[in-house]
Amino acid sequence: MTALPRKVEAGTATDVADIVIAGGGVGKTFGGGAVVALEDASFNIPKGSFVSLVGPSGCGKSTLLRLIAGLIERSSGSLTVHGREVSGPHADVGMMFQRATLLDWRTAVENVLLPTEIHRKPTAEDRSRAVELLKMVGLKDFVFSFPSQLSGGMQQRVALARLLQTGADILLLDEPFGALDEFTRERLNLELMRIVAEVGATTLFVTHNIGEAIFLADKVMVMTPRPGRLARMVDVPFARPRRPELQQTPEFNALVAEVRDILGTH
């Protein structure tokens, strides 16, 4: 892996200290260069921000998340998390996928405890935290249920609690509610917004839905395919807390149109 010097985009000194993820010309190719999944992506993600990634299928959203998580090696550029070059899976990030990937033989709370168990024998505090997190995601009455006894939405809630149990301050969510029906998805989006504000995590959220991306985020990374590129980083100015009605305002729709425009011209 090439270790290029750390490159930080324009910003004042205090800004730099507040950047938790920085990409400098990050690229990823598969099949010995045959497939360019991501090309020359440069970006800064400030601490505590909620960033949405939108773009059509194949534009490299999942690839970017997996690079940040250290699950795959980048082919070029520099990528730092908390100022350290990413060189493999690390403790600063937690990941959540479209499918809940819960372990069927573990109860909800045992699933939530998995991240802790990987590193040490869970203490009484770890255990009560796991139960607390399940309450936080609205599963107070399902602490000891097995995954197959839960609905798809509830399974994703367990996965979210497990993600929070890692204690990571960066949450990478790859279409976490993409397989759920629209009502459930909207509710979970609202709860996700509340929860990440509560724990103060930096969040990267992949979605195909432009409205959802804008509604949740402080910044929207708009990506375009063939090759996967970061087309623009769009700032979302709306104040928090946000209410669903925001999505009916002209300002909101203007921003949706702007993002659609960026995607359309590519």
Partner 1 sequence: MVVLTSSTREQDHGTRRGAGSFFHAAAFHPIVRHFAIFAVLIGAWEIGARTGTIDPLVLPAPSAIAEAMWRLFVTQRNIWWHLLVTIGEVLAGFTAGSILGIGLAIVVGLNPMVRKLLKPYVIVLEATPRIAIGPLIIAALGFGWSSKITIVMLVCFFAPFINTLSGMLSVNEGAYELFRSLRANKWQIFTKLMLLDAMPVIMAGLRLAMASALSGALVAEFISASEGMGVLLKRYTASLNMASAFGCLLTLTALGFAIYRTMEAVGNRIVFWRHAPQMDAVSRRRQAQWQRNWGA
Ligand X SMILES: Nc1ncnc2c1ncn2[C@@H]1O[C@H](COP(=O)(O)OP(=O)(O)OP(=O)(O)O)[C@@H](O)[C@H]1O
Contact flag: residue 143 with partner 1 (CB under 8 A): yes
What is the number of helices (H) and of strands (E) in the chain? 8, 10
Least distance to partner 1, CB of residue 238, Å? 32
**Binding of residue 62 to Mg ion (CB under 5 A):** yes
* Nearer to Mg ion among residue 208 and residue 242 (C-beta): 208
8 Å CB contact between 158 and 108: yes
Q: Contact region for Mg ion (CB under 5 A) — 43-51, 62-70, 125-133, 231-239?
A: 62-70
Q: Give 170's Cβ-side CA count (13 Å radius).
A: 23
Cα–Cα distances in angstroms (integers) from residue 31 to residues 14, 236, 249, in the given order:
40, 37, 46
Residues 6 or more apart in contact with residue 51 via CB below 8 angstroms: 45, 202, 203, 204, 205, 217, 218, 219, 220, 221
4: DSSP letter: P
The stretch among 49-57, 65-73, 204-212, 231-239 that binds partner 1 (CB under 8 A) is: 65-73
Residues that bind Mg ion (CB under 5 A): 62
Residues that bind ligand X (CB under 6 A): 30-31, 35, 37, 55, 57-63, 228
Residues that bind partner 1 (CB under 8 A): 69-71, 89-91, 93-95, 97, 99, 101, 103-105, 107, 109-110, 114-115, 117-119, 124, 127-128, 143-146, 148-149, 166
